[in-house]
Structure 1
Amino acid sequence: DEALLGRLFQYRFHSGAGLRGHSFGNLFLTALSHVTGDFTHAVRVSSEVLAIRGRIFPSTNQLVSLEATLENGKVIAGETHIGATRARIRRVHLVPRKVKPLPEVLEAIAAADLILLGPGSLFTSIIPNLLVSGVAEAIEKSRATRVYIANLMTQPGETLGYTLVDHVRAIHQHTGRKIIDCVVINDRPLAPEVLRRYKHQGAEPVSIDRAELQRMGLECVFDNLLEVHGVVRHNPTRLASLLIENFVKK
C-alpha cells in the first residue's frame, strides 16, 4: 500500500528516549547508512529496497548540522530541537556554512523539466537543502518550471502564524534568489473537528493571500488535494495528477 508506506516514512515519534521528534524515514536512512557504510550509497540502495522508480540523491554527502537563530536572539542546534521550539525562527544556517553539493544533484537540476519544492517542514527540511552551495543557484538558472507545493498546516513554533506568502518569502530570503514560479495550493477546507484538534496542538491551516502571491509574480494552481487519515496530508494520487496535467509537457 503506497499510501500507508508514505505515511509510515513521514511518521514522527512523539515519545520514547532518543526517538521523540525523529521521523521513521530519517531513522531508516540512518540505519541503512550504518549497514552500507556510506550515506550516499544508502540513499541509492533505499530506492531498490523500497522498489522506487527514479533516482534519489542527498543534496550533500558531507557531515552537516543545522542551527537556527530565533527572533529572541537565541541559537538552537539540531533539527529535533529546532522543530520543537515554540519561538519564531528568524533564520537557519548550515554548520559548516560552506557545504559541497553532490555533483549528481546539480546535474539533475540542470536536466530537469520540472522542479518541485515541498511539501515539508520549511526550516528543517526544505530550506536546509537549498543552503548547500550551488543548489539554489542551479535552480535559479534552470529552465525548468519551479513549483512550490504549499504546506496544508503550519507547524507549532516553527511556522506558527506563517501565511503562504511568509513561506515563499522565507525561501527567497534564505537563498537570496527567486526560485519559485508557481505555487500549488489545496482549496478544500478542513472539517471543524479536525481544525479543533490541530488548534489544540498549536497548528492551523496555512492562510492564502492569492492577490499578494500574484503580485509577487507567482502563478497559483488550486485543487482539492486533501487527505485526512488521522493526520492531514496531501492526497498523493490527486497531487501527482495535478502536476502532470499542469506542468508536464505532452
Structure 2
Amino acid sequence: MSVAVTMFNGGRGAASIARGMLSTPGVGLSLVVNGYDNGQSTGALRRYLPGMLGPSDFRKNLLLHLDPADPAQAALTTVLEHRLPPGTTPAGLTEVIDAVAARRGRFAALPEEASALVAGHLRAFARRLAAAPHGFDLADCALGNLVFAGAYLRLGRDFNAAVDACARAFGSPVRLLNVTNGENAFLVALRRDGTLLADEADIVAPRDQRRPQAAITDLFLLPEPVGGRRRAQLEASPPEWARDDLLRERAEVTPNPRALEAIMTADLIVYGPGTPHSSLLPSYLTPGVADAVARSRAAAKVFVVNTRDDHDSRGLSAPDLVDRTLTYLGDPGNRRRLVTHVLSHHGPDVPAVPRGVLGRGEWAGARWLTADLEDPGRPGAHHGRRTADALLAIRDEAALAGAR
C-alpha cells in the first residue's frame, strides 16, 4: 500500500527525515517550500533579477536523493553545491558552463541528458549577465542557484516552472512544490521591543533572543525590500504603529494549486523541523493552506519539534512553537484540528517541554509523543529513518483508530 506524505520544510532542517521517507518502500513524498530566502548571494541574485524568488531552499532539496558514492550522482551534487570562487568573471562562468556541457573535470560523470539541461539553463543566465554585466558579483554564488535563475529566464520568468524544470534535470523523486504561485515577496519581522528584522537573513542571524524583548512577535510578507529610510521610519514608530503599517503594506500572494492538492490528498501531513520564523511559519501565511490542511484526508497532521534551538526561536518552548504554527495557520486554539500530534525527541537540549505537557501527553488538543529521534552521529539532527518510522507509525495508528 502506498502512503502519500506531504511535508512543510525549508532547506536542510528536515533533510534527514525526507531521506528517511524516500528510503521507505511505498512512500510518495511531496515537499512544500517557500522562496523567501534573501541572504548573501541569494539576495544578490534576487536583486539582479527583480521578481524572482529565492532558489536556495529548493536547490538544497534537490540533494536529498543524491548518493555521493555514485559518480553520476556525486557530479550532480557538485553542480548544485559548487561555489564560484572570488574573482570569477562572466568569462570564467562560461568556462564552467562549457565543462558542464562537455562533461569535463569535476563534471565528467554527469549523465548526458542532465548535463545538456543544466548547461542550457546556465547559458540562459550567462546571456543575461553578458547583456547586463553590472550589478551582480559571481563570487561565492552557488552554481545550482544560477541553474535555477537560468531556468527562470528560459521559462518566461515563471518560478514554479523553473522548480519543475530543475527537479527534472536533477532526477528528483520528490514532488517539490513552491507554496505560492510564485509572486515575489520579501520576509520581514518585528521583535517585541519594536526592532525591525529587515529580511530573512536578519531573522536567522545569531543574537541573544533569550531576552523576552528580543523575541520575534510578528512576520510580514512585503512586495518590496525594506530600504534604509523606511527601516528608520518603522523603527522610530511605536511597535503597534509599525505593525499596523506593515500589515497595510503586505504583499498579495496566492496559493499554488498543486501544493493545495498535495496537502488535501496526503495520508500524512508533517510540519517539519527547521528555522521556524525564516523557513516554516511564512509558508503558513499563504491563503488557502490552512483550509487545505483542514480538508485533508490525512489521518495524522504531525508537528515535529527541533532537536536543538535555532537562533530565531531561542527563548521559546516547544509548546510555544506549536502555538505559533497554529496562530500563523489562523487556528490558535486548534479547533480545526490542524495539528493532531506533536513528536519530540526526549533528549535534554530540545526546546523545553514542560513536565505538565509530558505528563498529560497533550497540548492544544494534539497528542504529544516523545521518542529517541536524534542521530547519534550528527548531534542536533534527526535520525532520518527512525523519525520517518515514528511518523508513519503515528499515521498508521491514527488511520486504524479512524476506521473503527
TM-score bin, normalised by smaller chain: 0.7 to 0.9
Partner of 2:393: 245
Contact 2:189 2:216 in 1 (8 A): yes
- The one-letter code sitting in structure 2 at the alignment partner of 1:169 is D
Deviation digits for residues 49-101 of structure 1 (CA, Å, limit 9, x no counterpart)? 44432311100111111010111112222111111162310111212343101
The structure, 1 or 2, with the larger RCO (C-alpha pairs under 8 Å, 6+ apart) is 2
**1:1-250 → structure 2 map (5 Å cutoff):** 6=15, 18=40, 25=60, 30-37=145-152, 38-60=158-180, 61-84=182-205, 86=207, 87-95=214-222, 96-144=250-298, 145-156=300-311, 158-177=312-331, 178=334, 179-189=338-348, 204-209=349-354, 211-212=356-357, 214-229=362-377, 231-248=379-396
**CA separation of 1:117 and 1:105: change in aligned 2, threshold 3 A:** same
CA–CA separation in structure 1 for the residues paired with 2:370 and 2:378:
23
* Identity percentage of aligned residues: 26
Cα distance in structure 1, aligned partners of 2:373 and 2:162:
31
CA contact (8 A) 2:302 2:391 kept: no
Aligned residues: CA RMSD: 2.9
CA-to-partner distance for each residue in 1:119-174, whole Å, 9 max, x for gaps?
11111111100101111222123232211111111112x11121111101111222
Partner AA of 1:211 in structure 2: G
User: 4+ residue stretches of structure 1 with deviation over 4 A?
Assistant: 19-24, 26-29, 228-231
SS at match of 1:233: coil
- The 3 A distance-change label for structure 1 pair 209 and 70 is same
Looking at structure 2, the residues matched to 29 and 139 of structure 1 have their Cα atoms a distance apart, in angstroms, of: 32
| Structure 2 residue matching 1:226: 3-state secondary structure | coil
- The number of equivalent residue pairs is 223
Q: Give me the whole-angstrom Cα distance separating, in 2, the residues matched to 1:54 and 1:35.
A: 21
Larger gyration radius, structure 1 or structure 2: 2
**1:115 CA drift (Å):** 0.8
Q: Residues 289 and 329 of structure 2 are in contact (CA less than 8 Å); yes or no, is this contact kept in structure 1?
A: no
Aligned CA distance change for structure 1 residues 69 and 30 (closer, same or farther; 3 Å): same
Q: What does residue 200 of structure 1 align with?
A: none
1:229: Cα distance to partner? 4.2
Note closer, same or farther for the CA distance 1:75–1:58 as it changes in structure 2 (3 Å cut).
same
Q: Distance in 2 between matches of 1:226 and 1:42?
A: 34
Unaligned runs of 5+ in 2: 1-11, 17-38, 44-55, 62-141, 153-157, 208-213, 223-249
Please state how far the C-alpha of 1:219 moved relative to its aligned partner.
0.9
Q: Structure 1 unaligned runs (5+)? A: 8-16, 190-203
Distance 1:218 1:210 in 2: 16
Change (3 A) 1:47 1:242: farther
Normalising by structure 1, we get a TM-score of: 0.78
- Bigger fraction of residues in helix: 2
